Structure formats: structure tokens, C-alpha cells
Structure 1
Amino acid sequence: MNINQFKGMNDWMKQMDQFFGKDFLGGFEPMLRASQTQVNLYKTENELLVVISLPGLENVDEVDVYANHQKLEIKGRINLKFKGFELIEENIFQGHFERTVDLPYPVRDDRVDASYHNGLLIIHLHRLIQSEASRKKIAVRKIEE
């Protein structure tokens, strides 16, 4: 789920509140928030740390992480099951998820480290820096008349 998909939602929510009454949709906010994975983004000048809450992830192979220039895409599945118990109320997100995180600067795809610890997926990224060494000289040829 891309957070940018919800940019126009504020106008729509205001219209719904005008029609149905003040803060009509506010009661749905906890459900909307719970239906997506929670993400924190930290940065330094040349590094990013993306921390995603994924409680109950038993197999890290069930999560795919893709770094593409200035975007990070995370896909996977969370299953919270407790043997012998039936789920009667659900407030912790589970099931299939997709999340796209817009990054503040381009990152290198060859220096990405992802680890899972205590219910958190931690992704460490490094800024893509265009240096003088990476410039490619273009040969200029003279056209004879």
C-alpha cells in the first residue's frame, strides 16, 4: 500500500463529515491505521534506517524487500495463530501486506541490509552518491565534410 494513495483522502473525509456530521469517519480511523504495517524512517546524511513493525513473522522468507532508486517496497504475509484458540477480536494486523516507502534520496541497491528482530524488520540503506570517478567521458568525433 502506497501512502501517497491517500493524499486526496482529506478532502473526501471533509465532504463525508459535512454530509454525515462532524467526525463521522473519525471512528473508522483506528481500523484504517490497523490495516497497514507501521513504518518509522530514520536518516543521516548518507544512510537510512527503515523500521517496520511485523509482529509474529515466523519465516523471514515470507517477506520480500526491494530497493529501487528512491523507493523501498516490502511485501509479505503475517499469520498470528495460537493453537487451540479461536480469534474473536482482531486489532493487530495480519494477512497479506504491501507497503511502499518513498525515500528522501536515492539509495544503492548493492548495499542493503535487512534483519528481523523482536517483531521489527530493520532495513539499512546507503545513499547513492554520484562521484567524479563514476563520470564517463563521452568521445567527441569530428565530422569531415
Structure 2
Amino acid sequence: MRQFEDWKKNFDRFFGQDFWGDFEGFMKPSIPQMNVYQYDNELLCIVNIPGMNHPKNVDVLVDHATLTLRGTIDIHHTGGHQLKSEIATGAFERSIDLPFPVRSDKMEATYKHGLLIIQLHRFISDSTRQKPVKIRHLEDE
């Protein structure tokens, strides 16, 4: 591990301090892990949050076309010597851009078996919706 740190410092000196910032997502996975599925006018977000004992421990915030999740992944285990650590734990905050604005009055979230499922619906404003125009027949007047 010490050799990797030395190697990283040499790259930082050569390429600059921000060199590793572009690769951070490859080296350290985003938490919580998320799949997003788009349907015609709906988004389904499935979020992996293990160890959450109550949904009140996570905040789901939607602002126009941004989804933000805040909370804590806590695996309640004590004792023993940990040999492998692949499940990220601790406080998290993650925001993602949604492909379209969503309605604030039609959102639903459920949590079961470690998965938070968020259902969002496309916001269609009156100004973008096609409106029929009534045609007056002047000969009838």
C-alpha cells in the first residue's frame, strides 16, 4: 500500500493535484448505488441502502430535475477482525440530475429488503402542453 501512495504522489507532482479527481468515480464507487429506469412519463429509482433500520434515517429530496439522497449506511456489527470491506458505510449525500423535471405532488418512496424504491412522474407544464385552438366559422356569424 505504501508503494501505491508513493506512486500517486509522483503522478500528482507530474500531472497536478486534480489529476485523480477525474478518476475518483472509477476508484471509489458512488454511494448509495442506484439504478434509474425511464418510462414515457415516469422514473423509477432503485437505491441500495443496506442496514437502514428505519426509512426516517434517509432524506429523499427532489428539486425540479435533481434527486438528492442523504442518510447513513450503518451495518451494526461489533467484534471480530474485519478481513474484507466492500460495503461502504457511514454518512452519504448523493445528487443526480434527472432527465426531466418531475412533479412535486406525485412522488412515492418505499423501502424493503435493503432497497429504496422512488417513483417520480414527469412535470408537464401548461405552457408546454399542446392546447386545441377553437376555430370560429365566420360564415355562421
1:72 to 67, 76, 88: 67
Report the AA paired with residue 128 of structure 1.
F
**TM-score relative to the length of structure 1:** 0.66
Closer/same/farther in 2, CA of residues 29 and 111 from structure 1, 3 Å limit: closer
Report the AA paired with residue 54 of structure 1.
I
What are the superposed Cα offsets for residues 73-101 of structure 1, whole Å, 9 maximum, x if unpaired? 0000111013x533523210111000101
Closer/same/farther in 2, CA of residues 30 and 81 from structure 1, 3 Å limit: farther
Q: Which residue of 2 aligns with 1:51?
A: 46
User: In percent, how many aligned pairs have the same letter?
Assistant: 40
User: 1: distance between equivalents of 2:85 and 2:33?
Assistant: 16
Instruction: Give the deviation of 1:130 after TM superposition.
Output: 1.3
Say how many residue pairs are matched: 111
**TM-score relative to the length of structure 2:** 0.68
Unaligned residue ranges in structure 1 (runs of 5+): 1-12, 135-145
Q: What is the CA RMSD across the aligned residues, in angstroms?
A: 2.8
Q: Which residue of 2 aligns with 1:85?
A: 79
Q: Which residue of 2 aligns with 1:6?
A: none
Q: Which residue of 1 aligns with 2:90?
A: 95
1:104 and 2:99 correspond: yes
Structure 1 segments (4+ residues) deviating >3 Å = 28-31
